[in-house]
Amino acid sequence: MAIDLGAAIEGIGHDLAALIASADLMAQAQRQAADPDARSLPLDQITPALPLANPGKIMCLGLNYVEHIKEGGYEIPDYPAMFMRTRQSVMAAGEPMLRPSCSEQLDYEAELMIVIGKGGRHIPQSTALSHVFGYTVFNDGSVRDFQRKTHQWTPGKNFDRTGAIGPVVVTPDDLPEGAAGLKIESRVGSEILQSSNTANMIWGVARTIEIMSEFTTLEPGDLIAMGTPPGVGHAKKPSPRWLRPGELVEVEIEGIGICASPIQDEAMAMLV
């Protein structure tokens, strides 16, 4: 069951932006959620939207699990690989993930995602977790042949509607510190594609925030994707395992939820 906070609290809006911006609204929301008499509705009556309709920066770690680094043929770095995504490249959980008409090499990547709640620059690791509003699930859909066209990964990481986010954002008080020690998995039906644990990340949440805030001012509503564990499709043997139209890919993180995306051919989506 869920509570429609937008209907219950004036000014709360239809995404998390107002809650992130206002401690007072957040306190009202927490009281409403704890009220046993609050009006609720079944989850299956809700169509998920992006947690933030217009997120700020969407920043991503590229290599953050040792075994994933090895399966990609990279050297283990002493500084994280980073890239950015555009707003057009992401969509809500439940919406179709598009396999582009120019490539069949659509890959999956299960990832933990941070929602920044308090901004800052030069944030020390010791206080970095206080800047986290919450955690959600991200499928960093990647078009591999385009990712490898240049030394920069931008094209392969920014095809329209290839990055699924949500549907749930969990606040830090309901998870282990830094969202560490959580099982993370991707699958299609009964086929397990990836299975690991966020404890295996090289750079944890606090250190990542410290590193990123060294070169850019983090702002409320920014999103940070924390990299994917091993088992991605391009590294499968004896042949790559690409996502195909008609499949439903699920990314699940323990304690947070499942981000499910039907795969659709871009050409078919354009006909709708």
Q: Are strands 106-107 and 142-143 parallel, antiparallel or unpaired?
A: antiparallel
Distance separating alpha carbons of residues 81 and 62, to the nearest angstrom? 5
Q: Where are the domains of the chain?
A: 1-46, 48-271
Average per-residue pLDDT for the chain? 95
pLDDT the model gives residue 271? 61
Q: Which residue has the tokens 């075994």?
A: 67
pLDDT in tens, 136-177: 999 999 999 999 999 999 999 999 999 999 999 999 999 999
Q: Express as a percent the part of the chain with pLDDT over 90.
A: 84
The reply to whether CATH 3.90.850.10 applies to domain 48-271 is yes
State the pLDDT at residue 26. 94
Q: State the average pLDDT over residues 84-94.
A: 98
What one-character-per-residue DSSP string does 86-120 give?
Answer: -GGGEEETTSPEEEPTT-S-EE--EEEEEEE-S-B
Give the side-chain half-sphere CA count within 13 A for 117.
19
pTM (2 d.p.):
0.96
pLDDT in tens, 8-40: 888 899 999 999 999 999 999 999 888 888 888
